[in-house]
């Protein structure tokens, strides 16, 4: 059965286009024409503008195009959508928003203390993994997808947690502490390891776990998140099996596998980027001994002297 039966609004989300265009216009006004109001003379970099536009375009592709509709029909597309939304878009946003604009946001009185705690590497990674894993518990996902307000709220909170998770890794705020390359590598690997149990639960489950992808009544209710109720009531639909030849179990397993593959690809690119930048920084002055390295060498030498005594 073709997806066109759900209508133009469900397929292409014109309201979301309007919202994203509005946000993009405000972004360029703030970072160019209005930046003097923030007492900033630094111009918007071309790289920042490209990353921000990429973020907006990617959000529309995964939340406004037929991909979003398919994500409510097939669990596979849901996991692809989650992977791109949570693991790719935050990178674009962090890199696309100028540091001084981030500074205005994160140093607001209500935000500052909370942001400082939630961007601690250990806290950030466990909050994100915890929220992601909790969301994909069968009872939780089915309950959230049956309530539009709850679904939107939880998705937003999950997305914010993804931004906070990436912040220690990617941010380049002036006069702020930066993670060492080796720590960045460990951070990415820890993230990949910690998310594995949630993916494994989905991949190796012997039966389809989610009612909103298997039960016709629950599925129709969940479809109200992206299809107008008036349109759904005019259609005679029994369940997602009308739009796919995959069994629910195969669909679920493929979704878990694709989530893990996309995560590994994105993290692999990050690892490669960190290695390259680390190598280049070392090549600039190979004979330079940093203060940290000198201190470490001194500690080892003192330890050896004490041991000999």
Give the pLDDT confidence score for residue 18 in this predicted structure.
97
d(CA 265, CA 300): 38
Instruction: Kindly list the domain boundaries of the chain, sorted by start residue.
Output: 2-230+243-281
Give the pLDDT confidence score for residue 289 in this predicted structure.
47
Give the pLDDT confidence score for residue 280 in this predicted structure.
82
Give pLDDT < 50 ranges for the chain.
Answer: 289
pTM of structure = 0.89
């Amino acid at each position: 059965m073709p997806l066109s039966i759900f209508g133009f609004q469900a397929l292409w989300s014109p309201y979301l286009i309007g919202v994203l265009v509005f946000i993009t216009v405000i972004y360029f006004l703030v970072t160019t024409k209005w930046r003097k109001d923030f007492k900033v003379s630094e111009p918007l970099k071309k790289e920042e503008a490209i990353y921000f536009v990429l973020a907006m375009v990617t959000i529309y592709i995964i939340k406004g195009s037929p991909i979003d509709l398919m994500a409510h029909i097939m669990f596979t597309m849901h996991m692809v959508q989650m992977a791109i939304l949570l693991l790719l878009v935050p990178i674009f946003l962090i890199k696309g928003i100028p540091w001084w604009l981030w500074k205005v946001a994160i140093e607001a009185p209500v935000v500052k203390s909370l942001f400082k705690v939630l961007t601690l590497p250990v806290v950030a990674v466990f909050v994100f993994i915890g929220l992601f894993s909790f969301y994909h518990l069968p009872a939780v996902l089915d309950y959230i997808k049956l309530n539009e307000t709850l679904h939107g709220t939880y998705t937003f909170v999950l997305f914010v947690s993804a931004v906070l998770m990436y912040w220690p890794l990617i941010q380049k705020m002036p006069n702020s502490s930066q993670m060492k390359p080796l720590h960045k590598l460990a951070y990415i690997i820890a993230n990949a390891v910690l998310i594995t149990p949630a993916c494994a639960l989905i991949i190796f489950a012997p039966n389809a776990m989610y009612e909103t992808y298997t039960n016709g009544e629950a599925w129709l209710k969940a479809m109200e998140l992206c299809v107008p109720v008036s349109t759904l009531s005019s259609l005679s639909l029994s369940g997602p099996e009308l739009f796919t030849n995959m069994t629910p179990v195969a669909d679920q397993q493929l979704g878990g596998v694709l989530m893990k593959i996309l995560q590994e690809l994105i993290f692999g690119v990050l690892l490669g980027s960190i290695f390259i930048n680390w190598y280049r920084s070392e090549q600039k002055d190979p004979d330079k001994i940093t203060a940290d390295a000198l201190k470490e060498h001194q500690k080892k030498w003192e330890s050896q002297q004490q041991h000999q005594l």
